[in-house]
Amino acid sequence: MSYVKGLQEVGEGLYAYLQPDGSWGWSNAGLVVDGERTLLVDTLYDLALTREMLSAMRRAVPAAKQIDTLVNTHANGDHCYGNQLVEGARIVASERTAAEMSELPPAAMAALVEQAPGMGELGAFFLECFGAFDFKGIELALPEQTFAGGLDLRVGDRELRLIEVGPAHTRGDTLVHAPAERVLFTGDILFSHAHPIAWAGPVSNWIAACDRILAMDVETIVPGHGPIAGPDAVRELKAYFEYLYEQARERMAQGMTPLQAARAISLDRWADWGERERLVVNIANIYAELGETEPLNPLAAFQQMAELAGAR
Ligand SMILES: [Zn+2]
């Protein structure tokens, strides 16, 4: 689905920064402004991209010269590896996100990308996903303020609510809600027009997160990846996960592995969503929840996604 790169106003004093095409690593971020007060929702995957975003924000909104608060919605690098450039900001995240952020240092990503050319099908897939980003020179700036469950913040006179709905995509996923403007920044709880990926799960908790969003009075949703959306996209995501549960139960009863199931499942209604290879991780996560197998560790997840992507 085509959409435009850059800053877009989504409500009074509320902005989305979008990075098409929204596939692996091409994340969105958000900006909340009231007078001179500013809050940034997430940074991007590398320093050059984050620098480009910050200067686009400053051009459109002079107050963005100084960001007061930075919220990281979750621990994946495409939402926090640019943190060090937001100088002087207080960094806020859920406790679980803060803990998870120190586990995959940017230097490890840099090393993986460097070794990828010698790693066969897995390396080729890894480069396809992450080869466009520069992980060198990143010193991950970690949150100073953490919370569990929820946290109310003010940006000038504007009220914001941080709502922790993880573990789902990662261990500590957080939504950023601007109730008065009916705008929600979801981080990677919503990928619009692409398959989600349940790194942490359980998927049932992700479905509960969808229900929580659907119970809110929200009109505009800034997803973690993909074009601006609304509650319908969350309804679609919930239906997708429910369909996967149904399919996983059936395929498990037939004795299929998650990879065999991911190959066999027909995606008719969701067939045009990007990153179909993530299906195997989601199915494995549901299998684990149904008590049959361990969830995939990240290396196994990438190996199986590489196999599935190779077959496409
Ligand atoms: Zn992401």
Q: Find out whether 188 and 158 touch, Cβ atoms under 8 Å.
A: no
Residues 15-35 pLDDT 10s: 999 999 999 999 999 999 999
pLDDT at residue 312 above 50?
A: no
Distance 123 CA to ligand 1 centre (A): 20
* pLDDT of the residue at 104: 84
Does the predicted TM-score (pTM) go above 0.95? yes
Two structure tokens written together for 205: 């908790």
Confidence class for position 292, pLDDT limits 50, 70, 90: low
Distance 224 CA to ligand 1 centre (A): 6
Residues 217-246 pLDDT 10s: 999 999 999 999 999 999 999 999 999 999
Average confidence (pLDDT) over 50-56: 98
Distance 231 CA to ligand 1 centre (A): 19
Q: What is the DSSP string of the chain?
A: -----EEEEEETTEEEEE-TT--TT---EEEEEETTEEEEE---SSHHHHHHHHHHHHHH-GGGGS--EEE-SSSSGGGTTTGGGSTTPEEEEEHHHHHHHTTS-HHHHHHHHHHGGGSHHHHHHHHHHHTTS--TT--PPPPSEEESSEEEEEETTEEEEEEE--SSSSSS-EEEEEGGGTEEEEEEEEETTB----SS--HHHHHHHHHHHHTS--SEEEEEESS-B-HHHHHHHHHHHHHHHHHHHHHHHTT--HHHHHHH---GGGTT-B-GGGHHHHHHHHHHHTTSSPPPPHHHHHHHHHHHHHT-
Distance 76 CA to ligand 1 centre (A): 6
* pLDDT of the residue at 108: 92
* pLDDT of the residue at 268: 79
Average confidence (pLDDT) over 176-203: 97
pLDDT at residue 149 above 50?
A: yes
Distance 124 CA to ligand 1 centre (A): 20
Q: Other CB atoms closer than 10 Å to residue 117's CB: what's the count?
A: 12
Two structure tokens written together for 203: 């998927």
pLDDT at residue 247 above 80?
A: yes
Distance 195 CA to ligand 1 centre (A): 12
Please list all protein residues whose beta carbon sits less than 5 angstroms from ligand 1, which is an ion.
27, 76, 78, 188, 224
* pLDDT of the residue at 222: 98
Contact residues for 47 (Cβ-Cβ < 8 A; gap 6+): 81, 82, 84, 85, 134, 137, 138
Q: What single letter denotes the amino acid at residue 55?
A: S
Distance 253 CA to ligand 1 centre (A): 33
Q: How much of the chain exceeds pLDDT 70, in percent?
A: 99
Average confidence (pLDDT) over 265-281: 94
* Mean pLDDT of the chain, nearest integer: 96
Distance 254 CA to ligand 1 centre (A): 33
Confidence class for position 311, pLDDT limits 50, 70, 90: low
* pLDDT of the residue at 293: 74
Distance 189 CA to ligand 1 centre (A): 9
